[in-house]
Amino acid sequence: MPYATLALAREDAVAVLTFNRPDKLNAINREVLSELHQALDALAAAEGVRAIILTGAGEKAFVAGADVSEFTTMTPVAAMQFGQDLGWAIQKIARMPKPVIAAVNGFCLGGGCELALGCDFIYAAENARFGQPEINLGIIPGSGGTQRLPRLVGKARAKELIFTGNRIDAQEALRIGLVNRVLLLAELLPAAKETAAKMAAKSAVVLGLAKAAIEEGTATDLMSGLAIEAKAFGLAFSTEDMREGVTAFLQKGKATFRHR
Ligand code: COA
């Protein structure tokens, strides 16, 4: 389906979803949000898609946040609903049993940073700039920033970012564990695609179990998390892919997973 504010491309089992409002630094307005939900639902349902990359159009921004121009007319309830609606889209990414990489090319601010935080991991171009600047507008992050950022980089670093509204560059983001890799801008998408293709060749069903175990386990205490892992580990033994993987290893061959 063609989108007005997003672009969707497919290379084999890898889908690239691009926020496509470059003249507004890909800021998320209601239309983007509605299309984002549709696109995520479609990607989650598409059997042939086994890894997803989110990125931004142009060289300046991944996503520079929620569209501030819509804030002037928002009632408190509408603001809460907008924040939760974007939060729900981010939850779809975090709960989807497929790996999602954020390929961050430029500004990654506010809701854009919250989106990237909901992805499984972030690759950043050298020009990437991260921040939660909401405090400068007299508001706070409303789509998971106060929750996911401290869980990823620690409470003190998250507080400093959220209380000051400071922007940090890609190297600093790497240093504090916000991003996994920093790349030249020209190498960002190729690197993300290479990693996505590598993950897409694994058993999709088993990779989904690993993602769910990490997501559900890190949202609870260690003992409960270990119990979640034990069940997911056992469930992996019900798959054809487990038999294929173990047999191929023992026969010194290469496994071909069929995602079942
Ligand atoms: N909402 C709405 N429009 C936005 C936007 C946002 N979050 N971020 C950028 N834009 C728009 C600008 O208004 C401008 O539009 P215009 O050309 O019609 O005036 C266009 O995108 C380009 O941005 P501009 O500010 O001119 O680029 P810059 O390079 O000077 O600055 C930023 C880039 C990212 C520093 C600056 O745009 C900014 O601070 N954006 C807001 C970030 C923010 O607070 N996000 C959190 C929102 S909760």
Nearest residue CA, atom 34 of ligand 1? Answer: 64
For residues 95 and 170, the answer to whether their CB atoms sit within 8 Å is: no
Task: Note if 11 is an active site residue.
Answer: no
Distance 255 CA to ligand 1 centre (A): 48
Give the Cα separation of 210 and 201 in Å (integer). Answer: 15
Cβ-based burial of 175 (10 A; exposed 0-12, middle 13-18, buried ≥19): middle
pLDDT in tens, 165-217: 999 999 999 999 999 999 999 999 999 999 999 999 999 999 999 999 999 99
Q: Tell me how far apart the terminal alpha carbons of the chain are, to the nearest angstrom.
A: 27
Active site residue 134: yes
- Helix, strand, coil distribution of the chain in percent, nearest 5: 55, 15, 30
pLDDT score at 1: 64
- The 3-state DSSP class for residue 26 equals coil
Residue nearest (by alpha carbon) to ligand 1 atom 20: 24
In the predicted model, residues of the chain with pLDDT beneath 50 are: none
Question: β-strand 167-169 against 61-63: which pairing, if any?
Answer: unpaired
Separation between Cα atoms, residue 213 and residue 234, nearest integer Å: 12
Catalytic residue (choose from 35, 114, 160, 187)? 114
pLDDT at 2 (0 to 100): 86
